[in-house]
Chain A
Amino acid sequence: MTTQAPQFPGAPVVRREARDKVTGTARYAADRIPAGCLYAWTVPATVAAGRVTAVRAVDALAVPGVHSVLTHDNAPRLQEPDDPILAVLQDERVPHHGMPVALVIADSLEAARTGAGELHIEYERDPHDVTLTEDHPGLYTPEEANGGFPAVRNRGDVEKALAASPVQVDATYRMDALHNHPMEPHAATAEWSDGHLTVHDSSQGSDKVRGSLAQAFGMSPDHITVVSEHVGGGFGSKGTTRPQGVLAAMAARHTGRPVKLVFPRAQLAEVVGHRAPTIQRVRLGADLDGVLTAVSHEVVTQTSTVKEFVEQAAVPARVMYASPNSRTGHRVVALDVPSPSWMRAPGEASGMYALESAMDELASALGLDPVELRLRNEPATEPDSGRPFSSRGLAACLRDGAARFGWHDRDPRPAARQEGRWLIGTGVASATYPVLVSRSTASAHAAPDGSLTIRVNATDIGTGARTVLAQIAADALGTDPAAVHVDIGSTDLPTAPLAGGSSGTASWGWAVHKAAADLAARLAGHSGPLPAEGITTTADTEQETADESPYARHAFGAHFAETAVDAVTGEVRVRRLLGVYAAGRILNARTARSQFTGGMVMGIGMALTEGCGIDPVFGDFTAKDLASYHVPVCADTADIQAHWIEEDDRHLNPMGSKGIGEIGIVGTAAAIGNAVRHATGARLRELPLTPDTLLPYLL
């Protein structure tokens, strides 16, 4: 029995599955081992372009325990899937290195893997092209960039305004591909029973996966159950359906037995998407007071030959700063590379690196404080659309962050501060992320024994979804969150959208709030004991989410970084990283802080250590494991602080919340790069800032 006072949204309630996770009892997709389960191992293509001409499976099938080998010759035929990357083992074409070309199914993982090693695959190779250049002849302007944004927007006359601007910046920024690499690799366990398909899948949204499977297998979604009970991170790579569920379901259909498939880390990067490399040219024009007269942000990026995905890196420039003249555009080239996709704040993370670095260059050119420069260019309405902001907390974040960080004591001169062999500098950058929300359903149930249950097919990818939904429901019901049971993570539950676009809590929470408020009203009007079946309310936010808001709705933030550069080796260390966010109402201070700081740490990786090239000869990503793809370790993260300002925004949802899962990575790399420039005087325009890139600029 709990004696806790009711806790309302905002309270730092502890994640309810925390104990299950740290004691290993939380069950992930690959932890399901149905009776008679077989194990599948994918065989990735070792050429970057061409065709499979022969698969000799005799030796593989002779391996003890190997059950069968699936290739494009014998795999079940699929309908045209809703995402072309799911058309696996359907034809002989190899569009990129790492594309699954066979699946070995065996009694054990070891046998499947041994069998895969005995499979002889012959290819006809085509010449491949895996190298993005800013003048690639295949570059074209797409219709749209990711998110449905127009690829190109023009306002005013940028060229004329630039030419007339007394102060100009023209700089090009580059970054290599980045990988999501969640802790839990993509995995699925599939089982057919009397025509019903059940898949335990590591995904950010099982309704989405169910829809993809229904499309691919030509089935009614009613005959498919997808469960994603616990998910060990996704960072966008599990937001779209990935091939593991399709492959496991094909193998299970082929063998008539349950099949489990886990992509090994070495194969992951080529089948789960990545942040596409970008080459971004930013031109800024300003008057002598630092008021922008022109903003031009032009992005060059790559996609695959399988599908068009355009990282919308120029889109944040349509939101950030007032300027009467603006050009934002994207060009893309389809290369023989794995398909890029979502990675934490697609568009914003890469685009704000470039834009916020350019703003720092402009501040330097003007001799103006970079915080002040940003304040001078605060727009009255959203620059590109003219819509009023529902709330815009950027200036408040900059001011609050500057005070907390001690920014105002800063000596603006570059390369002016040294402690021993360390060159010290500080930098700032803005952050933004749009408010997204999708239709969701949910139910609330009061049982005669007094228990309360919320049911919604939300997905917890580690953020604490169960916990915050319990808080939202408890708030509407006037009770303690601990009294609310929350069922999530299965398509058997009321339909809900995925955990992505920093929109999960807003979308699910809205439906949960509605169902719980309805239940509270029903309970208030009820006298006497509840009926045996209890009282159930259901909610659907179709109407509430149908219309586009007349307001421009975005979260904003400011990142302040202090870096130390080893004057001998060029090694960069982030000593302090401080973020202040304006993201509506914060619903759980503990889990929110965790998401903010998690994004900031990922931003440190983007700035200093992460980046993966493609081998021009073999056409594959060159870093295949976490020993060579360097995500930050604890030693890279010193003093990291996340703060937020209170926002009372009535144009969002009943909780008053904006998304918080992605904004922590937005602008962080720019703040760090700007701090490195302040420390050393060297303006580097390519990430990551590894020692070799700094060395030429050190005495």
Chain B
Amino acid sequence: MKPFGYARPASTDEAVRLCAAGPGARFLGGGTNLVDLMKLGVETPRVLIDVSGLPLHRVTRTAEGGLSIGATVRNSDLAAHPDATEHYPALSQALLAGASGQLRNAATTGGNLLQRTRCRYFQDVSKPCNKRLPGSGCPAREGTHRDLAILGHSPECVATNPSDMAVALAALDATVHLLGPEGERSVPLTEFHRLPEENPDQDTVIRPGELITEVVLPPPVPGAVSRYRKARDRASFAFALVSVAATLRVAAGRVEHATLAFGGVAHRPWRARRAEAELRDAPATPAAFQHALIAELAEARPLRDNAFKVDLARRLALDVLGELTERQPARTG
């Protein structure tokens, strides 16, 4: 690990100011990914700006009835928060499906959104990688890519976003709030992470010096139920081969509201807009679900060794939608 500076600002303004003071600054949350990458030589920051002590550690109800999650709220705390478990169970389930207990105790909401791909070539500085070293090439496309993308990848990059939490947030229509040198702005979570295109070194649309301050969830859709499920190589402490987050409300046998997002399949949490459009007002039947999922996954372009993910995504989503259909709350009228 190369020597680096360390600063512990007292306010978000100071944090942003410190970050803007020169190149090579990185915000430090729980450090569960950034410090690993520093050990690997992938990240070589000039200075770490430790934001874990900033007053961004609260989970509060918004005036609209949604939820504001501070950027430094620990994954464990958010997973166990009554508002998460009661009103956004898919979020709590996603958090608990991620990493290990120790890591969740350290990892923060903001840091989770900014964690980087676990593609093995990205993590190995002795090898080319367009994400780490733009223009050097992508050995994963022909190499080890069983865990990598089937949707939205580019010739330059086939990496996946590894987050579980972000998949649930995508299905829950979360918004990311940012504070930067030019002030505050907010970005829908589904637009926060990018597809790789020709510049895979950019994971997100975050601008230089911008700090994630909070993630805001809209009020839960009345009558909708939600679920997160993850398929992986071992029972815990493994990244998703495929994961699914969904919300569903069914009335009189027809879908009134559905959101669906996939994890482990693309450079960003994959919000399945096409499937959602097919589902809306469709009968809540396996056949209709199947039809919608096939439509969504028609654009999948699997690599040599990860075609199974197309099938796995379809099967898992079909099962989750079926489960949510069965779990619809009883309604009168």
Contact between chains at B319 and A635 (CB < 8 Å): no
A625 vs B123: C-alpha distance in the bound complex, in angstroms?
10
A117 within 8 A of B: yes
| A421-B319, A569-B312, A624-B120 given; A630·B41 CB < 8 A | no
- Which residue of B has the minimal Cβ distance to A46? B126
Contact between chains at A568 and B139 (CB < 8 Å): no
Interface SS, B side: loop
B residues 112-136 with Cβ under 8 Å of A?
118, 120, 123-124, 126-127
Please tell me the number of chain B residues within 8 Å of chain A, measured between CB atoms. Answer: 35
Q: Per-residue CB proximity of A622-641 to B under 8 Å, as 1/0? A: 11110110101111100000
Contact between chains at A617 and B41 (CB < 8 Å): no
| A622-B120, A632-B234 given; A568·B1 CB < 8 A | no
B2 within 8 A of A: yes
Q: Taking the nearest CB of chain B, how far is it from the CB of A684, in angstroms?
A: 14
Q: Taking the nearest CB of chain B, how far is it from the CB of A181, in angstroms?
A: 14
B231 within 8 A of A: yes
A31 within 8 A of B: no
B235's partner among A625, A628, A636 (CB-CB below 8 A) is A636
A residues 526-574 with Cβ under 8 Å of B?
566, 568-571, 573
**Interface-located stretch among B140-148, B254-262, B283-291:** B140-148
| A569-B315, A569-B316, A628-B120 given; A633·B235 CB < 8 A | yes
Contact between chains at B234 and A110 (CB < 8 Å): no
Contact between chains at B143 and A635 (CB < 8 Å): no
Contact between chains at A691 and B233 (CB < 8 Å): yes
B311 within 8 A of A: yes
A566 vs B312: C-alpha distance in the bound complex, in angstroms?
12
- Which residue of B has the minimal Cβ distance to A636? B235
Contact between chains at B238 and A618 (CB < 8 Å): no
User: A634 contacts which chain B residues (CB < 8 A)?
Assistant: 236
B61 within 8 A of A: no
| A630-B233, A630-B234, A633-B234 given; A692·B124 CB < 8 A | no
Q: Taking the nearest CB of chain A, how far is it from the CB of B305, in angstroms?
A: 8
Q: How large, as a class, is the contact surface on chain A?
A: 35 or more
| A46-B126, A615-B143, A617-B143 given; A635·B234 CB < 8 A | yes
Contact between chains at B308 and A635 (CB < 8 Å): no
A628 vs B316: C-alpha distance in the bound complex, in angstroms?
23
Contact between chains at B144 and A695 (CB < 8 Å): no
Contact between chains at A609 and B144 (CB < 8 Å): no
A608 within 8 A of B: yes
A residues 576-590 with Cβ under 8 Å of B?
none
| A615-B144, A691-B241 given; A635·B236 CB < 8 A | yes
- Which residue of B has the minimal Cβ distance to A638? B235
A residues 678-696 with Cβ under 8 Å of B?
690-692, 695-696
- Which residue of B has the minimal Cβ distance to A604? B234
A379 within 8 A of B: no
A215 within 8 A of B: no
Q: Per-residue CB proximity of A150-173 to B under 8 Å, as 1/0? A: 000000000000000000000000
B232 within 8 A of A: yes
A571 vs B318: C-alpha distance in the bound complex, in angstroms?
16
A to B CB contacts below 8 Å, 12 in the list: A110-B3, A117-B41, A568-B319, A569-B315, A616-B143, A617-B139, A618-B139, A630-B234, A691-B308, A692-B146, A692-B308, A692-B312
| 3 pairs of A and B residues whose beta carbons are closest in the complex | A635-B235, A635-B236, A569-B231
On B, residues with C-beta under 8 Å from A are 1-3, 40-41, 100, 118, 120, 123-124, 126-127, 139, 142-144, 146, 231-239, 241-242, 308, 311-312, 315-316, 318-319
